[in-house]
Amino acid sequence: MESTSARGLYSLWQKFLPIQLMVIIAAAGLLVGVTGGLALALLNGGIERVPLSGSGSGSVAAGAAPVAPTDLSPVFTPEVQYWKDYIMKWSRQYNIEPNILGTVMQIESCGHYLVGSSAGAQGLFQVMPFHFAEGEDMKDPDTNARRGIEYLKGGLELADGNIGLALAGYNGGWGVIPRGWAGWYNETRRYYIWGAQIYMDAIAGKTTEESAGLQDWLNSGGSILCGQANAILFPQPTPTGATALP
């Protein structure tokens, strides 16, 4: 009886084997298609090109009006908001969308203008020393912004206005822009994802708490950098009667 049941099940399995194979092949094809689509979306930053200096109008999303914000987005943390007037001044001076500057400053320094990295990058935009002219103060906000924005705009030109790719180039060097996702270091991939998400949330008018990208960056160590920046930018007053530390 058991042998007859086993033969019957085997026969039934053979009968429906072609259908099973078709389902498996279709599922595999769907997975490849979705994976490929995600890879292309990541490579393109998930956002359209933005206007470059002296160029015509552009859009952030298909069919959207050109981006021309009059203010810095509320998505950025208080330490970056501290530099709002400067960011708006630099935006006008160098003809670049202010929320791009806010995004770079957020990830690079969180507004800590005195910070330096182990690799030697300096200041608000974490600019490497070889980008400065001899005698320039690398941590002076205006000087640091000028050199950082020059490099950022060069990346935007090479990336044909694609913000995601330009941000990857700002982190990993212009050479990563044509290389593609597979050729990037993990740090550049994370920078790309965080930067693109934060920027899209910025132009959408989201707050710090509403931005999944910014929250992910904060939870991945950004909160430590912001804490250091906060202590520099918003020092606590010495309590009455207390002796200030030297």
Pick the closest to residue 202 from 47, 65, 95, 57 (CA basis). Answer: 47
Structure tokens at 169: 């180039």
Other beta carbons less than 10 A from residue 28's beta carbon: 10
Provide the 8-state DSSP code for 144: H
**Distance (Å) of CA 245 to CA 137, 227, 229, 242:** 28, 19, 19, 9
What's the rounded Cα separation, in Å, for the pair 170 and 150? 11
Number of alpha carbons in the 13 Å side-chain half-sphere of residue 196: 25
Identify the burial level of 165 via C-beta atoms within 10 angstroms of its C-beta, where 0-12 means exposed, 13-18 middle and 19 or more buried.
buried
Choosing from 2, 97, 108, 209, the catalytic residue is: 108
Q: Nearest-CA neighbor of 108 among 87, 85, 135? A: 87
SS3 call for 35 = helix
Q: Which amino acid is at 76?
A: F
Residue 152 to residue 101: CA distance in whole angstroms: 9
Check if 150 is active-site.
Answer: no
DSSP state of 4: H
The residues that are catalytic are 108
